[in-house]
């Protein structure tokens, strides 16, 4: 249901402005490009608030979230903070009557996701995850080739390998408590790609992990992320996704993701792909191509259209929950040593 007459009526803000990637600035610019109006920034580092004031003259700045929620008439808030803070901050914003977008991963556990969704439903507010990579060129090409054109027949599995060899840095993303673990950061992107390809009900997840090699060499010690971790998600059709993220790999595969089917394989990375199929005479047919341009601007445009025109939300709470549930169950499975059944589709 539309809540605003036009996109410029949607007053937007961010929680978190600092960091090496200028994420707060980038989000506000993207929201502005979608027609919405930047009005507020909350950031505990006051030097970054000064930067925000330079970037957006006249913008309201607050050194804590409570002040922003009390004093600002912001309508939509994007949360750009460490992973383990997303759920608490989202609930705080929702209870204050604000629509919410969260950087990915949305949360660390399924329980956190469900609490956020329940509050959004209670308050009749929007909650979504900033899955801008849903529209990455590599994902668009994979869906076109594999799902729409059925170029490799029936999909059997997706094998994902990401990482390299080396000690993780001492930033917060290397803390398991804060980040959720090695699978969460890039893993949530890679799973989101894969779930667009295997469109099926999740049945169970198995997780495997190795700890203790890099940790003692980092500032995080025992709280360091896993050295290597794998999640295997099985679906109702029998198809499965295998996701491995590692800091123990001295080799490098030519492509990050391989989709295997009954009639071929589709390998792709962020920038290019290779389609391999079998000819009638037993020879292989190989087609290589480059990924089309990404369309990440569609995320905030969809949010604006949903709030003004009632357009269907693309990154729904249900969609946001799927990769988090897989990651959550993988972590639990690695600890327990057995597969864990999914609690929803």
Residue 275 banded pLDDT, cuts 50, 70, 90: very high
Mean pLDDT for 267-281 is 95
What is the sign, positive or negative, of the torsion defined by CA atoms of 79, 83, 89, 91? Answer: positive
Measured CA angle at 50 (ends 47, 52), to 5 deg: 115
Residue 174 banded pLDDT, cuts 50, 70, 90: very high
Mean pLDDT for 251-272 is 95
Instruction: Pick 71 or 279 by higher pLDDT.
Output: 71
Please report the pLDDT score of residue 310 as a whole number.
95
Q: Is the pLDDT of residue 21 over 70?
A: yes
Give buried/exposed letters for 232-260 (b at 16+ CB in 10 A, else e): bbbbeeebbbbbbbbbebeeeeebbbbbb
Q: Is the pLDDT of residue 149 over 60?
A: yes
Residue 253 banded pLDDT, cuts 50, 70, 90: confident
Q: Name residues whose C-beta falls within 8 Å of residue 129's C-beta, 6 or more positions apart in sequence.
A: 101, 102, 103, 104, 105, 106, 315, 319, 320
Token output for 292: 């089309």
Pick the closest to residue 105 from 73, 133, 147 (CA basis): 133
Q: Is the pLDDT of residue 252 over 90?
A: no
Residue 22 banded pLDDT, cuts 50, 70, 90: confident
**Per-residue pLDDT tens over the stretch 90-111:** 999 999 999 999 999 999 999 9
- Tokens 């980040």 belong to residue: 179
* Rounded CA separation 141/160 (Å): 17
Please report the pLDDT score of residue 282 as a whole number.
87
Please report the pLDDT score of residue 2 as a whole number.
63
**Per-residue pLDDT tens over the stretch 203-247:** 999 999 999 999 999 999 999 999 999 999 999 999 999 999 999
Mean pLDDT for 83-93 is 98
Mean pLDDT for 294-322 is 97
Mean pLDDT for 169-185 is 97
Give buried/exposed letters for 296-322 (b at 16+ CB in 10 A, else e): beebbbbbbbbbbeeeebbbbbebbbb
Please report the pLDDT score of residue 3 as a whole number.
83
pLDDT > 70: percent of the chain: 99
Please give the domain boundaries of the chain with CATH numbers for all domains. Answer: 7-133+297-316 (3.40.50.720), 135-293+324-341 (3.30.360.10)
Residue 49 banded pLDDT, cuts 50, 70, 90: very high
Mean pLDDT for 154-176 is 96
* Rounded CA separation 263/260 (Å): 8
**Per-residue pLDDT tens over the stretch 1-15:** 468 999 999 999 999
Please report the pLDDT score of residue 280 as a whole number.
87
Please report the pLDDT score of residue 19 as a whole number.
66
* Rounded CA separation 170/182 (Å): 13
Average pLDDT along the chain? 96
Pick the closest to residue 268 from 142, 184, 151, 183 (CA basis): 142
Residue 20 banded pLDDT, cuts 50, 70, 90: low
Q: Is the pLDDT of residue 345 over 80?
A: no
């Amino acid at each position: 249901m539309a809540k605003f007459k036009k996109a410029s009526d949607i007053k937007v803000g961010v929680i978190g402005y600092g960091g090496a990637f200028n994420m707060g600035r980038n989000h506000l610019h993207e929201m502005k490009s979608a027609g919405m109006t930047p009005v507020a920034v909350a950031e505990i580092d006051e030097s970054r608030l000064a930067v925000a004031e330079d970037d957006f003259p006249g913008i309201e700045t607050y050194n804590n979230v409570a002040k922003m929620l009390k004093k600002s008439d912001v309508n939509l808030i994007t949360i750009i903070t460490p992973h383990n803070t997303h759920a608490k901050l989202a609930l705080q914003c929702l209870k204050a009557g604000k629509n919410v977008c969260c950087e990915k991963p949305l949360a660390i556990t399924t329980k956190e996701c469900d609490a956020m969704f329940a509050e959004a439903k209670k308050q009749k507010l929007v909650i979504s995850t900033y899955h801008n990579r849903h529209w990455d060129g590599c994902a668009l090409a994979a869906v076109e080739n594999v799902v729409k054109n059925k170029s490799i027949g029936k999909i059997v599995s997706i094998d994902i390998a990401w990482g390299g060899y080396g000690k993780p840095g001492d930033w917060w993303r290397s803390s398991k408590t804060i980040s959720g673990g090695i699978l969460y950061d890039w893993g949530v992107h890679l799973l989101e790609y894969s779930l667009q390809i295997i469109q099926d009900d999740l049945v169970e997840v198995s997780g495997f992990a190795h700890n203790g090699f890099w940790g003692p060499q980092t500032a995080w010690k025992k709280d360091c992320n896993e050295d290597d971790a794998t999640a295997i998600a099985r679906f109702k059709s029998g198809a499965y996704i295998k996701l491995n993220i590692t800091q123990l790999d001295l080799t490098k595969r030519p492509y990050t993701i391989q989709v295997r089917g009954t009639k071929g394989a589709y390998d792709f990375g962020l920038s290019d792909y290779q389609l391999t199929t079998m000819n009638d005479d037993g020879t292989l047919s190989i087609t290589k191509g480059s990924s089309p341009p990404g369309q990440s601007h569609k995320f905030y445009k969809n949010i604006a259209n949903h709030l003004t025109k009632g357009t269907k939300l693309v990154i729904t709470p249900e969609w946001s929950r799927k990769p988090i549930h897989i990651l959550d169950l993988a972590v639990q499975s690695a600890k327990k040593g057995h597969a864990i059944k999914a609690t929803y589709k």
